[in-house]
Amino acid sequence: MKLPYAEGTIFLVPLEKGGYARGVVARTGDQGKAVFGYFFAPCLPSKDEVRLEDINPANAIKKIMFGDLGLINGEWPIVGAIPNWNRSEWPMQDFVRRDPLGKLKPILVRYCDTDPMRIEAEFPIDDDSGLETDSASGYGAVEIKLSRLLG
């Protein structure tokens, strides 16, 4: 099955109380399923008022791994693509795995730059501030996270 998206695809995520957040597919494997994406404010009131020119990786409010079902089933409308896509401008980020009891050092998790489903390296670190937790979110969970962020 041909995927309806590729790296550089811009899409909309519906929010719980109405409106949309914008997202960009930054990494995906050949088979899809797991995607690493950047997400942006502000909340857009409708699908018809989408601005694409101000999307910049430095302005992302969230960078996470997520399942692609919302893109596959059309619940997350695709609205365009980043012109002259350059994946080096949209880097894969490192994540952290934390011990729930706080007794062990956090573990930095680095994924393969060409396959967001494959871990490339893991090692203990002292400071995990600013790193997202290593987990993949279903598309419904992404909608909830972004709804909370964008109020």
Mean pLDDT per block of 10 residues along the chain (151 residues) reads: 91 96 93 90 89 90 95 96 95 94 93 91 92 93 96 83
pTM of the predicted structure, to 2 decimals: 0.93
Q: How far is CA 54 from CA 25, 41, 47, 62, 142, in A?
A: 16, 10, 16, 16, 22
Residues 6+ apart with CB under 8 A from 134: 95, 96, 97, 107, 109
Tokens of 105: 């050092």
Domain boundaries, the chain: 9-91+136-150
Beta-strand pair 136-137/62-67: parallel
Q: What is the pLDDT of residue 151?
A: 83
**What is the three-state SS of 113-133?**
CCEEEEEEEEEECCCCCCCEE
Q: What is the pLDDT of residue 149?
A: 95
